A = this chain, B = another copy of it.
């Protein structure tokens, strides 16, 4: 296979240089380089170097502040840790506020990080994992663009609204899931379109609100939530808690603001952290040891834990580096040389 192999640190440095080259400050460039490198490292290709272009396009469109310095609100004694991304990327704000979230959850048993006024284009699992590294369970959610019809509806209203969760494990990678509450990611519909393949039944509606298996018609119409009315309800909950409750944009408002789904969405994010030690205090049994019994029973049936594939890819990347295709390397070179002119 032609291509170039980088160490994780090398790839991160290279992506960071691209971002600094287009005027992102160190806080923004560093956070985004870390999270996109993590995606590539874990073979989560849809959230790896592929996302550099969208990041640059969003900078070019003036829809994100590349110089933003996120601001952490002072501790008000509540369970809420508020961080204002100042129009920058969510990840820089998250990194700033994480120690405060962990301290607050340790003190109160649970706490919430509210990120406002951020641009969001990364997966949620890097944040979930970062919370679990503090010995805390995490539940993370955010809206997206309006591209999904509620079950029984006809038009895009909800976002693909990801829902993610993590549980810390002492001697293993954390238990982590992170998925779109739409039946499929929009990128998967696009891949079907490029391949000239029909969509499975139940994925999408056309512009008239009728079920369709034509990817072109689906992209002009609406995707559907996973799991029928249950997934639709969870997606609505995500709009309420991580859009409206935190005083930030809902998925239809995001689409109005950007006028496009080709730019990274602007909205808020909600990160809940729970201290299993605090919750289990005074009760029999160590919660972490008991969780291993559950995980063992799942694996013992031949079922997988979510993220197992990602962790395997991560171990491979640590040992053998990350190999990018010649096309991907050329893309990185072009971004490094031409900056925003390349997008």
Contact = CB atoms under 8 A, between A and B. Distances in A.
A32 B248 CA distance: 40
Interface string A98-122: 0000000001111110101000000
Chain copies in the assembled complex: 2
B109 A79 contact: yes
Secondary structure call for the A interface: mixed
A237 interface: yes
Contact of A226 (B114, B230, B246, B294): B230
Contacts of A234: 163, 165, 234
Contact of A306 (B209, B229, B241, B290): B229
Interface residues of A, number: 72
A157 B298 contact: yes
B245 A280 contact: yes
A197 interface: no
B231 A303 contact: no
Given A116-B283, A150-B303, A153-B303, A244 B290 contact: yes
A62 interface: no
Interface in A143-175: 149-155, 157, 163, 165, 167, 175
A80 B279 contact: yes
Contacts of A287: 244-245, 247
Given A150-B301, A151-B303, A306-B233, A245 B276 contact: yes
Contacts of A114: 279
A79 B80 contact: no
A282 interface: yes
Contact of A152 (B109, B167, B303): B303
A240 interface: yes
A179 B230 contact: yes
A238 to B, nearest CB: 10
Contacts of A149: 301, 303
Given A78-B108, A80-B110, A157-B301, 4 more contacts: A112-B279, A149-B301, A245-B276, A247-B282
Interface of A: 77-80, 107-112, 114, 116, 137, 139, 149-155, 157, 163, 165, 167, 175, 177, 179, 181, 209, 226-234, 236-237, 239-241, 244-248, 250, 252, 274, 276, 278-285, 287, 290-291, 294, 297-298, 301-304, 306
9 nearest CB pairs, A to B:
A247-B283, A227-B227, A153-B301, A153-B303, A152-B303, A177-B233, A247-B280, A80-B109, A79-B108
